[in-house]
Structure 1
Amino acid sequence: MSVATNAADIVAVSCQGRVANPAFSGLPAEPYRLDADGKAFLWPTFGGIVYNVSVGDSAFGWSGDCVHPAVSIAHPDANKNRGLNVFACVGNRAMVTSGAAKGATGTVTGKSGRFSDQVIVHFDMATREAMAVDDAVTVMAEGVGLALPDHPAVAIKSLSPSLFDALPKRVEDGVLRIGVVATVPPHMVGAGAGLTSEGGSLHMQSTDRAELAAHGLDRLRLGDVIAIQDTDSRYNHGYLRGAMSIGIVGQTDGPRAGYGPGMTIVMTAPGGALGAFDAPGTNIADILELRA
C-alpha cells in the first residue's frame, strides 16, 4: 500500500568513499580474536571486495566474522567518512568512479562498524572482479530527512524513499506495520546498543543457538527485513518497552559473543506507533532486483 512521505522535499547529495582494505588494529600485535568460549580464531572480517557472499545469501555458516557482502567503502578522512555513513541510505544508487570498473553501478545495502566505519554496496560479480581496493565509489545519497506526515512518531533511518515505497506495509488502527521475516526479542539485541543509530550496525546475539532457532532467526538471509522488539533507535539504540525498530540484515554472523548478524536500522518509533506483520521471504535482494 502507499503511505504518504515528504520525498519531494528531501535533498539528494553525492558522497564518496573508496573500496576499503580489510584491516587489523596495531594493538594487540597478534591478529587473533576470541570466540564466545574463549577460543582464538582467525577468519576474514569486514572490508574489501567479497566475491562469494552476496545479498540474499544465508547470514550464517560462513567461516568469517561479521562479513560484509560484496563491497565495503569508506573515506580515508574521518570527518568525510562520517558524512558518507550518515547520508548514505539503503537502496541508494552507487557508481564506481575510478579504476577498471569505472561507470558500473550498484546499490547500498547496509552500514557497519562500531563507530559508523563502512558502507556496504552491492555490485554484480563481473563488476566485483574488475574492481580493486581504493577504487572510488560515489553514492547518490537520498533519504536523510525522509518523514511520514501521517505517522509523525515514526523516525526513518538510512532508508531511501524508493525502498520505503517498495516495502510491504499496511496501516491498522493508525499504526504503520511493516512486513518482516522475523522479530528479534529485546534480550537478543547485542553489540551496537547505546551507540548512534545514524550509521553503523546493531547486532543480534547468536551464541545461544537454541534460542535463535526458537525465534526463527537461525534461517535469516542477508537482506532480510526484520523487526526488533522493545528497541528505540531514534537517537541511540536502547531498550524501551513498547518501542519497535525495523532493520535489514546487512552482515553475517560471527563467533564472538554479541556479534550475530548485523542489522542496519531503517525505521523506529516508541509507544506502539510502529508495528510488524509476518511476511516470509521479504528481502531487499528481491525487492531491489539484486540477484543475478
Structure 2
Amino acid sequence: MTNTTNVATNSADIVAVSAMGAIVNPAFSALPAEPYRLKSDGTAFLWPTFGGIVYNVSTGDSAFGWSGDCIHPSVSIAHADANKNRGLNVFACVGNIATIVSGAAKGAKGIVTGKSGRFSDQVIVHFDMETRRKLAVDDKIMVRAEGVGMSLPEHPDVSMKSLSPALFDLLPKKAEDGVLKIGVTGIVPPHFVGAGAGLTSEGGSLHIQSTDRATLKDLGLDALRLGDVVAFQDTDSRYNHGYLRGAMSIGIVGQTDGPRAGYGPGCTIVMTAPSGQLGCYDAPNTNIAPLLEIVQ
C-alpha cells in the first residue's frame, strides 16, 4: 500500500452529476483523401489510432512499443452532440465510476482513466476484458462525474483538474513547509512538453514528446506505463497549458506513445500550481491501476 498523507478537500461540497457518452468508432478525417500519417522522420505509416474498443491494451500496460498512434486503452466514449460532449469531457474526472446502460454488457461498471482525442473530444474508460468482449460501438455509458470544483483549503494555490476526490485521497503525497508534494514515477522537463500545449487544461491530454529516445531513456521516462503519475516541470495548467518558470503540473498517463513529431504518451493533467506551491518526489511504480484496484 502506498504511503500517503491525508490532505483536506472540500469533497462534501462537490456536486456529482451524470454525464452520458457512447462508445465511438475509430475515425479518419475526410481530407486528405489518403489515410496515411507521417512519422517524425517523414516516412508514412498507417496504424490504429484512438477510439473504439481496444481489446489488448489496458491501464497498467506499457505506454510504449505498440504499433498504434496514441491508443486509448480499453474504451473511448463521446457524445454525438458537440455541446453535450463538451460537458462530458469537462466534467468526467479520472477515477469516476462509469456504468454501461445499454447493450449486452448493461449494468457493468468501469472507471474513467483519462481524457483525450484530437481536441478534448473523448473520455477513456477502463472495463475488464470479459466486459470488453460484450461491448459494441454505440453502447451508452453513464459517468458519475464528480471532481470538478474540488479545492484544497490548506493549499489554495493548487488548482485541481479532472481528478475524483476518491483518487486524490489515494495518491501518495505529503505537505512540507506549505508545499504539497505528490509522489511520481517520473519528471518531464519543459522542453519535452508536446501536443496539447496552448489548449485547455479542463480536458484532452498533454503529450510527452518521445522522438528523442536517448534523452527519454536518460530521463527515465522510457519505461512509463499507462496510469503512471508524472510531474511536468515549469508547466502552468491553470487555464491552458504553457511554459511558466517555477510552475508544476501533475498528470496521469492515459494514452500510448505515437510516431508523430511532437507526440508521445498523452497525460491528463490533474493538478497544477504557478510558483512553487506544488512539488513532487520520487515514488516508483505510482500507478492508478493498483491504487484503484483495476481488474484487467
User: Normalization by structure 1: what TM-score?
Assistant: 0.99
CA distance in 2, matches of 1:111, 1:280: 24
Gaps of 5+ in 2: none
Q: How many Å separate the matches in 2 of 1:39 and 1:134?
A: 34
Contact residue 185 and residue 228 of structure 1 kept, 8 A: yes
Give the Cα–Cα distance (whole angstroms) in 1 for the partners of residues 25 and 35 of structure 2: 15
1:60 partnered with 2:64: yes
Match of 2:287 in 1: 283
Distance 1:264 1:178 in 2: 15
Amino acid at match of 1:264: T
Give the letter for the 2:174 counterpart.
R
Q: 2:18 aligns with which of 14, 22, 26?
A: 14
Structure 2 equivalent of residue 253 of structure 1? 257
Matching of residue 27 in structure 1 with residue 26 in structure 2: no
Paired with 1:245 and 1:282, the residues of 2 have a C-alpha distance of 16
What letter corresponds to residue 9 of structure 2 in structure 1?
T
Percent identity (aligned): 78
CA distance in 1, matches of 2:238, 2:89: 16
Aligned to 2:274: 270
Match of 1:100 among 99, 104, 107: 104
- SS in structure 2 at match of 1:137: strand
- Give the Cα separation in 2 of the matches to 1:224 and 1:205: 16
* Corresponding residue of 2:40: 36
Number of the residue aligned with 1:112: 116
Are 2:180 and 1:188 equivalent residues in the alignment?
no
**Does the alignment pair 1:77 with 2:76?**
no
Deviation at 1:203, TM superposition (A): 0.3
**CA RMSD of superposed structures (Å):** 0.5
- The superposition leaves residues 133-170 of structure 1 with CA deviations (integer Å, 9 ceiling, x where unpaired) of 00000000000000000100000000000000000000
Question: 2 CA distance for matches of 1:72 and 1:254?
Answer: 17
- Classify the secondary structure of the residue corresponding to 2:20: strand
**Aligned positions, number:** 292
Instruction: Show CA shifts across 1:191-230 (max 9, x none).
Output: 0000000000000110000110111000000000000000
Of 139, 159, 162, 2:163 maps to 159
User: Is 1:141 matched with 2:145?
Assistant: yes
2:50 corresponds to which of 29, 46, 52: 46
TM normalised by structure 2 equals 0.98
Equivalent position SS for 1:128? helix
**1:271 alignment partner AA:** S
* Structure 1: 5+ residue stretches without partners: none
Distance 1:271 1:27 in 2: 43
Q: Structure 1, residues 89-108: CA drift from partner, whole Å, max 9, x if none?
A: 00000000000000000000
Give the superposition deviation at 1:64. 0.0
Q: Is the 8 A contact 1:56 1:291 kept in 2?
A: no
Paired with 1:290 and 1:280, the residues of 2 have a C-alpha distance of: 18
Q: Which amino acid aligns with 2:233?
A: Q
Alpha-carbon offset, residue 115 of structure 1: 1.8
Residue 173 of structure 2 aligns with which residue? 169
Structure 2 CA distance for aligned equivalents of residues 18 and 39 of structure 1:
34
Structure 1 Cα separation of the partners of residues 208 and 106 of structure 2: 36
Give the counterpart letter for 1:117 in structure 2.
D
Aligned partners of 2:118 and 2:54: how far apart in 1?
20
Equivalents in 1 of 2:190, 2:263: separation in Å?
15
Maintained 8 Å contact 1:180/1:276: yes
State the SS of the aligned residue for 1:18. strand
Cα distance in structure 2, aligned partners of 1:29 and 1:290:
40
CA contact under 8 A between 1:18 and 1:136: conserved in structure 2?
yes
The 2-side partners of 1:286 and 1:214 are apart by 26
Task: State yes or no: 1:197 paired with 2:201.
Answer: yes
